[in-house]
Chains A and B, each alone.
Chain A
Amino acid sequence: MRRLFPATLLVSAGAIGYELLLMRALSIVQWHHFAYMIISLALLGYGASGTFIALFKAQLEARFEAAFSTCALLFSIAMVLCFALGQRVPFNALEMVWDSRQFAYLSLLYLVFFVPFFFAACCIGLAFTCRRLDINRIYFFDLLGAGLGAVLVIGLLFVLITQNALLMLMTLPLIASLLMGIPSTARKPLMLAQVMWLALLISGIPQNHLGLRVSDYKGLSQALQVIDSRVLSVASSPLGLLTVVESPTVPVRHAPGLSFATRHIPSPQLAVFTDADGMSAITRFDGDLDPLGFLGDITAALPYTLLEQPEVLVLGAGGGGDVLLALYHEANSVDAVELNPQMTELVRETYAEFAGFVYDDPRVTVHTREARGFVAQSNAQYDLVHIGLLDSFGASGAGVQSLNESYIYTVEAINEYLGITAPGGLLAITRWLKLPPRDSLKLVATVIDALKLTGVSEPGQQLALIRSWNTSTLLVKNGPFTVDDVALIREFARSRSFDTAWFPGIQASDVNYFNRLDTPYLFDGTTALLGERAADYIARYKFYIEPATDNRPYYFHFFKWATLPEVFALRKLGGAGLIEWGYLVLIATLLQAIIAGLVLILLPLSRVARKWPARTGSRMGAYFLLLGFAFLFIEMAFIQKFILFLSHPLYAVAVVLSGFLVFAGLGSAWSQRFAHRCEAGGRSPVAMAAGSIALLALVYLFLLPFVFQRFIGNADLVKIVISVALIAPLAVAMGMPFPLGLKRVAETAPDFIPWAWGINGYASVISAVLATLLAIEFGFTFVILLALLIYAIAAAIFSMLPARQ
């Protein structure tokens, strides 16, 4: 038994570590969408293993150690094999609208990555099933392992690239297999298999197949196709894989929105890709400002026309382009905020000479912080708050980011930015311009809402919007624009062949001259959004342009079901780019979760004997189904909510997921004592637990924004501790209804136990994806309130379950 506890811990750590590692790897080779798919398929592994163990319980119980050791070894092998295999699936999300085979490839990906989780879950499930007397301690080591696994993988990712972190991680289940293999009945064949796997690893053959195969259509792959281009350096951390590319023959020249009228050619640059996409440029600078003339001829230069020697805040400094823009325009001081310290290091140290030591300029102060956190804690007043263009045109189009939470462009965020803008100062945001407009208009709608919230009665007086053929720059002034301001804006735009789309007093004759659109979309849209029937305009617009909020921070989500049939029918006429494939991936993932759960969890269970009192089955089924939905709804909503606080999706997943696992586990362990106490007082323990969940969740709905605001600027470690402290009581309460129900089942209908696990697992698999979909459509508050309603119904059903005879 002494071996079982560490073995359980190692497998559990390996499983959660692998989950996080896959999210990281798939963000690099594909895009961020797959995070929810991985949570769903990890749960599928656990659900399917429950069914598998229920079907072969007798055989497995007789050979417990051998079965555990075999599953742990297979988990170790599958971690490596499926990582390599998954990358060989020729899935191309961009082709989904053209090629139905892509849906089959997506399903194949889902199944390939399911396999390792299935074996990991078999180990844990076997330990619970076959060593029931030690179930509490097994549970403790399982949960401890989950917590340690999350910490371990985050730590590993700071020092190792993803594939090397995987090699470290796969040793955990291998050690577990060795531990459990020694006392097993199949010691010799197991040892042989373990030695062979070790020998294969030492030979280096598996490692040769683990290299990340980045999609051919991501920015990095495209850049490396250019003649003579090469990777100069790679820096990896959980915050992103940074790849610096040099292209001496065909220099990188990144200047979004450069005027047609310019005489300046952009200086040569180094390209920096984050997770193989989202290019940022480090511009060559030798102290001479003349070669930077192009910086005066981009739409993002507009605010500098209105300001003299401003104090500037650059949010999202990236490769330093916007800092250079500020210095070129004689900014008095520049505070540059960048989340990723490795990005800052590239500009400040690794390529400091190339970048002209721009971060060592006495006027520049670099802050390695998350933007919202910095702004929340800042007491300074800036003449200009500048948000640059850090995503690629491709990524901002066609739904690549539609599922990304972005807390930079929400109503609350805009208000915070305006809060640190000096009177008469400016907030400037540059976006790619897509036609028909989506994010440009959504931004206008968001800013108008933010201004109205602060009591501005005429928001139109404080807005100015110009556009080139592919970018738009929006200015929001802290106070109304003056006649002189307007004259300067008009002259800036006219002299650079940019079109004005809004300024106070604009006329229809002022728009759509240089870059002519069939309709002056931005002018018409801004006019409508400032008008009395703005809500009607938003409702009738073909794309979703309702302002993003912290409750629904999906700024890049423009999908409307009503528009889908029309744009799908038009795909052969050039309408393909209007279909948001990111959303389609989510829908496809939900469908495959529903089908895979049915096939791998519920259908095999039909072979298990079904003997329980009449009508009990449906009630018990409903109870465990509802619990699965409610638990995951709250957990997923918290993951997404905590991205704002913890600054990065991977941190949020690691902290929230392991926090919920550990504390729900503790709640589960305390559930019987809690039940005794409740029953002694004549109260239903499930109703009490559901009541506690409701109370805590409702308090959090009001409390979290204030807690986040107060502590967002603190160090990561402090924020993690606060997050765990917030999650703990809620998770403890959420950990109770399931074991309480299970105990009731064991007393009254023991044959239903595998079904209880299976049905609950099935609901979890689906709701991991469904929760994201609901959050996008209705917001986090809705998802949490829905979960509370579901808990209430589950508590009512529990009271109807037959009690012990």
Chain B
Amino acid sequence: MKLLTALLLFVSLLAFADDANYAAARAAMVEELWLYAQFVDDPDETRISDAVMASMNTVQRHELVPSSERRYSYENRPLPIGYGQTISQPYIVALMTKLIDVDADDMVLEVGTGSGYQAAILAELVDHVYSIEIIAALAIRAKQDLERLGYKNITTKLGDGYYGWEEHAPFDAIVVTAAASHVPPPLIEQLKPGGRMVIPVGERFMTQTLLLLEKTEKGEVITRQFGAVRFVPLTGEH
């Protein structure tokens, strides 16, 4: 019995040490993101807020990636999560979250749950997040992971995100993480006037720009694209 107790204690200590290590790695990652945030072109638009950074420092990314990738969890890079999908680069997630500029009482829709990481980041900031995934295995895994991590303000479902989530519409903000040839018209309809939608544009592992779509109070749609990089002017000297 003593031996068993000692073993349990040892295992718990290991787990605790593990958690502490991940927490330290997470804090280091957030420090790195702070540094990057200083370099962006337009500080007002893309400087990541304290609230978003706090959320990045809270969500346990290592709990949402496959075990084979766990050791890279807090590196600022995208990781494969199986099924040809990726968990986005933390810097991109932080920037997307910043761009939709959510308030605590906002209703947010996410199209493409993936690992559940973006939903978890948003859930730290708003009342409720609705998230839709079209890949069955990912939808099931993300639902289980998010429940295990105690997120009660995220509702997920398996299905077609093209038509949004009619019964919970309209939304203050929409995040589309799935690649598409066009922005689905029903999603634009389900965005409140004054609402914001953000879409990463690019290949897997290689997000190039973020598309921010804003619906004016009059219902007009205007988009802006943000290169996530601070690029030396294109025709500048090499």
Contact = CB atoms under 8 A, between A and B. Distances in A.
Interface string A528-553: 10000000010011100000000000
B225 A226 contact: no
B23 interface: no
Contacts of B234: 436, 519, 521, 541-542
A49 B45 CA distance: 62
Residue from B78, B91, B206 with most neighbouring chain A CB atoms (10 Å): B206
A540 B235 contact: yes
A572 B221 contact: no
Contact of A518 (B82, B223, B227): B227
Contacts of A256: 181-182
Residue from B32, B92, B135 with most neighbouring chain A CB atoms (10 Å): B135
Contacts of B82: 216
A98 B77 contact: yes
A500 to B, nearest CB: 15
Given A258-B181, A394-B204, A566-B232, A572 B188 contact: no
A216 B232 contact: no
B227 A255 contact: no
B208 A216 contact: no
Given A225-B134, A265-B186, 14 more contacts: A250-B159, A253-B162, A258-B185, A260-B188, A264-B185, A265-B185, A394-B204, A515-B224, A518-B41, A537-B235, A540-B236, A540-B238, A542-B238, A572-B76
Given A570-B230, A573-B229, A574-B208, A517 B235 contact: no
Nearest to B32: A572
A479 B186 CA distance: 41
Contacts of A570: 229-231
A378 interface: no
Contacts of A521: 234
Given A260-B213, A394-B179, A570-B231, A225 B206 contact: no
A250 B92 contact: no
Residue from A249, A251, A514, A575 with most neighbouring chain B CB atoms (10 Å): A575
Contact of B181 (A217, A218, A254, A434): A254
Closest 8 CB pairs of A and B: A574-B228, A577-B208, A216-B84, A258-B182, A577-B206, A562-B238, A260-B221, A250-B160
A577 B181 contact: no
B203 A572 contact: no
B193 interface: no
10 contacts: A94-B205, A251-B162, A253-B182, A393-B203, A434-B208, A497-B221, A518-B42, A567-B229, A572-B36, A579-B206
A469 B211 contact: yes
Interface string A433-473: 01110000000000000000000000000000000011000
Nearest to B206: A577
A365 interface: no
Interface string B62-82: 000000000000001110101
Contact of A227 (B42, B136, B205, B236): B136
A397 B206 contact: yes
Nearest to B212: A516
B122 to A, nearest CB: 19
A434 B227 CA distance: 11
A343 to B, nearest CB: 19
Contact of B83 (A216, A253, A573, A576): A216
B221 A514 contact: yes
Interface string B148-174: 000000000011101000000000000
B180 to A, nearest CB: 8
B39 A573 contact: yes
B221 to A, nearest CB: 4
Interface in A210-233: 216-218, 221-222, 225-227
A497 B173 CA distance: 21
A752 B68 CA distance: 52
Interface string A616-660: 000000000000000000000000000000000000000000000
Contact of B89 (A225, A562, A572): A572
Residue from B91, B95, B202 with most neighbouring chain A CB atoms (10 Å): B202
A283 to B, nearest CB: 13
Residue from A94, A256, A574 with most neighbouring chain B CB atoms (10 Å): A574
B223 A397 contact: no
Nearest to A497: B221
A253 B181 CA distance: 8
Contacts of A393: 179, 181, 203
Given A265-B186, A436-B231, A574-B92, A94 B203 contact: yes
A149 interface: no
A644 to B, nearest CB: 28
Interface string A551-583: 000000000101100110010111111110000
Contacts of B232: 542, 566
Contacts of B205: 94-95, 97-98, 217, 576
Interface residues of A, number: 67
B: interface residue count bin: 35 or more
Contact of B78 (A98, A225, A394, A517): A98
Interface in B122-141: 134-136
Interface string A494-524: 0001000000000000000111111101000
A262 interface: yes
B217 interface: no
B203 A394 contact: yes
B134 A226 contact: yes
A262 B184 CA distance: 10
A260 B183 contact: yes
B196 to A, nearest CB: 14
A692 interface: no
Nearest to B90: A572
A221 B83 CA distance: 8
A672 interface: no
B135 A397 contact: no
B98 to A, nearest CB: 13
A400 B186 CA distance: 32
B185 A435 contact: no
A62 interface: no
Contacts of B32: 572
Given A514-B222, A518-B41, A572-B76, A217 B227 contact: no
B80 to A, nearest CB: 7
A94 B213 contact: no
A398 interface: yes
A737 interface: no
B84 A221 contact: yes
B162 to A, nearest CB: 7
A336 to B, nearest CB: 21
B172 to A, nearest CB: 18
A261 interface: yes
B129 to A, nearest CB: 21
Interface in A350-408: 393-394, 397-398, 400
A404 to B, nearest CB: 16
B207 A574 contact: yes
Contacts of A398: 202-203, 206, 208
B84 A225 contact: yes
B206 A257 contact: no
Contact of A95 (B80, B135, B186): B80
A92 B185 contact: no
B227 A435 contact: yes
Residue from B82, B89, B225, B231 with most neighbouring chain A CB atoms (10 Å): B231
A530 to B, nearest CB: 15
Nearest to A516: B224
A478 to B, nearest CB: 30
B238 A563 contact: yes
Given A225-B135, A397-B203, A435-B209, A573 B230 contact: yes
A264 B166 CA distance: 18
A540 B237 contact: yes
A226 B82 CA distance: 13
Interface in B82-108: 82-85, 89, 91-92, 95
B223 A575 contact: no
